[in-house]
A and B are shown apart, each in its own frame.
Chain A
Amino acid sequence: MKKQTILNNTIIIICLCAIGIGMLLPLIWMLSTSLKEGNAVNSFPPEWIPNPIKWSNYKDAVEAVPFFRYFMNSVIISVTVTFGQVLTSAMAAYAFSRLNFPGRDTLFFGYLATMIIPGSVTMIPTFILFRSLHLVDTYTALILPGMFSAYGTFMLRQFFMSLPRELEDAAKIDGCTLPMVFWNVILPLSKPGLATLATFTFLGSWNNFMWPLVVTSSELKKVLPLGLMSFQGQYSTQTNLLMAGSLIALIPIILVFLFNQRYFIKGIQMGAVKG
């Protein structure tokens, strides 16, 4: 029996490895190409290991367009959006889960009901709003709409509901005001929930394409996805540089994902509860 389990597990691990390599193949090819010399990119049969390895492609890619600028725009926007969304969601979630005030449940139901509204419904009026305020092509337009989320509020509310109340009561008896309870008791206890929402928000914001496309027009305000598009427009034949640039754009989200994996997976399972 024992022997059979070991054999079974070996077969399964071989299967898992084969599938894993298959899934990573496009990304490995991307990495390999990003390190090739220009004339080695298109060759048959395909060359998997670049010879020679040309690290300078990354330098060339970064210098070919204002890449640093795009990258910093993406970082600034994604970090601000994440921070803002987690903060506003946590505050609202605290009020929805712990404080009693008239109209609370009605309001919460309103939040729930809007969670299914497709982004394209609100996008056009939001664009018109920013346009009429002359805020097109500003960081404000890129950041502000992402800072509020009914989904984030809902998720954190569910998380706060699961926390024990004893610590809060003790803090109140010790003379803490409600904002102090929120800051000193609720937030520290909710790190997994906050990290989950932060990971989701960061990835969503980093990959966001349509909204930046709609509200930006100048080079200076372009985020990475848009920067990659103009890169492709200018250097469409230099695939090695294009792949180097694309890979740089992927590295932050791959890192965030690898560091926050367990939160991420938890978040998906929590999100499923809403259905």
Chain B
Amino acid sequence: MEKWKKLWSNEKFVGYTFILPNFLGFLLFTSLPVIASLILSFMNWDILNEPEWAGFDNFVNLLGFHRDEGAIVANDAEFWKYLYNTVYMMLIIPVSMVGSLLLALLLNREIKGIVAFRAIYFLPSICAGVAVCLLWKWLLNSNYEIGLINSSIATVASWFGIDPMSVNYPKWLSDPALSKPALMIMSLWSGIGGMNMILYLAALQNVPQELYEAADIDGASSFQKFWKITLPFLSPTTFFITIMSIIGGFQGGFTQAFVMTEGGPAGSTTTIEYYLYNNAYSYFQMGYAAAIAWVIFIIVLILTMINWKFGGKLVHY
């Protein structure tokens, strides 16, 4: 009994015992898979047959270029197209951030019941997933009798005495030129009141009130106070949100593509993440998919390093 008690009071023994379950999980589902995926990225494997060593082939096929009748073309033009799609869809990030900041500014005051608004704005961001994608797929339906968005356009048109039948409606998800903007509208809806708004709200509450009081004495306008005090104080948060959103953006777009568009029309909504999924589970090119995953990883790593290096220094006041 005494021995037993001594054992369970020993920090070394208890320390290792308590870490063990987590550590095994960490080993099995993080460390080993990372190493395995790096090795896999240098192989060709269709899961069914024996894997073959491929050297740098996957990376060359993915990122390299070759000469074709004098012109320089990408080995995998699709990858670059999907990378472009992924980056294109990130253009909504600044819009979304400005929106989050505006909402946070509105919410940053002491009015009874303001917490309820915070919860309402946050709601769309927790509903992310298949259910919401199904909802938006239908909202974006181009037939004005089916999709709510075009039906709103039709309603406005009818106010001006225009026959709803004669309007040329945006084809949203079936038009390659509009499919990306359509998905961006959806991500604006789900992101604007989410994490970023909360982070801005927390940052706003940390701005020292004395600065505003001093500015009031100097007769500064509201705009000047915002520009010279609030915004500089928020710059670390802005930087953090920017980097995090870009990191998220490079890994995003899978559920929308899978549920709403199947990556189309004409590949216009396929992101790198969806391309990776297809390579692994539709074409069974495990090695190639692992190479794509590592390219995403390296992009994320560079962005994180930028965040570490400059994140703390970005306070201008």
Contacts and interface: CB of A to CB of B under 8 A. Distances in A.
Nearest to A8: B109
B123 A24 contact: yes
Contact of B134 (A114, A226, A242, A257): A242
A125 B40 contact: yes
Contacts of B251: 118-120
A187 interface: no
Contact of A177 (B9, B31, B293): B9
Majority secondary structure of chain B interface residues (helix, strand, loop or mixed): helix
Interface in A92-126: 92, 94-96, 99-102, 104, 107, 110-111, 114, 116-126
B254 A111 contact: no
Contacts of A275: 240, 243-244, 307, 311
Given A15-B106, A19-B103, A121 B12 contact: no
Interface stretch (A61-69, A161-169, A248-256): A248-256
B22 A153 contact: yes
Contacts of B138: 239, 242-243
Contacts of B22: 88-89, 91-92, 148, 153
Given A91-B19, A258-B119, A126 B29 contact: yes
A239 B107 CA distance: 36
A125 B33 CA distance: 5
Interface stretch (B68-76, B77-85, B192-200): B192-200
Majority secondary structure of chain A interface residues (helix, strand, loop or mixed): helix
Given A121-B33, A257-B126, A246 B131 contact: yes
A225 B37 contact: no
B34 A91 contact: no
Contacts of A114: 26, 30-31, 34
A117 to B, nearest CB: 6
Interface stretch (B54-62, B143-151, B171-179): B143-151
A52 interface: no
Contacts of A9: 109, 111
B121 interface: yes
Nearest to B14: A178
A207 B19 contact: no
A209 to B, nearest CB: 5
Interface in A182-218: 182, 203, 206-207, 209-210, 213-214
B281 A214 contact: yes
Interface string B98-122: 0000010011010100100111111
B199 A269 contact: yes
Contacts of B307: 275
B127 interface: yes
A75 interface: no
A108 B81 CA distance: 39
Given A44-B151, A46-B151, A119-B251, A100 B240 contact: no
Given A104-B15, A114-B26, A120-B293, A232 B120 contact: no
B215 interface: no
Counting contact residues on chain A (CB < 8 A from B), the size range is 35 or more
B187 to A, nearest CB: 13
Contacts of A111: 26
Interface string A124-155: 11111101000000000000110110100100
Nearest to B124: A23
Interface residues of B, number: 101
Interface string A216-243: 0000000011101100100000010011
A264 to B, nearest CB: 8
Contact of B130 (A123, A147, A249): A249
Contacts of B304: 116
B45 to A, nearest CB: 9
Contacts of A177: 5, 8-9, 14
Nearest to B27: A148
Looking at B14, B198, B292, B300, the one whose CB has the most chain A CB atoms below 10 A away is B14
A7 interface: no
A20 B145 contact: no
A265 interface: yes
A51 interface: no
Looking at B26, B132, B254, B307, the one whose CB has the most chain A CB atoms below 10 A away is B26
Interface of A: 9, 12-13, 15-16, 19-20, 23-24, 26-27, 29-30, 42-46, 88-89, 91-92, 94-96, 99-102, 104, 107, 110-111, 114, 116-129, 131, 144-145, 147-148, 150, 153, 172, 175, 177-180, 182, 203, 206-207, 209-210, 213-214, 224-226, 228-229, 232, 239, 242-243, 246-247, 249-250, 253-254, 257-258, 261, 264-265, 268-269, 272, 275
| 10 cross-chain pairs, A with B, having the tightest CB-CB distances, nearest first | A148-B25, A125-B36, A177-B8, A125-B33, A101-B15, A92-B22, A246-B131, A99-B15, A122-B33, A225-B130
26 contacts: A16-B106, A16-B107, A19-B103, A26-B136, A44-B154, A45-B155, A88-B21, A91-B22, A94-B18, A99-B14, A118-B251, A118-B297, A120-B292, A120-B296, A121-B290, A150-B30, A172-B9, A180-B8, A209-B254, A225-B131, A239-B138, A242-B134, A246-B132, A254-B127, A264-B122, A272-B237
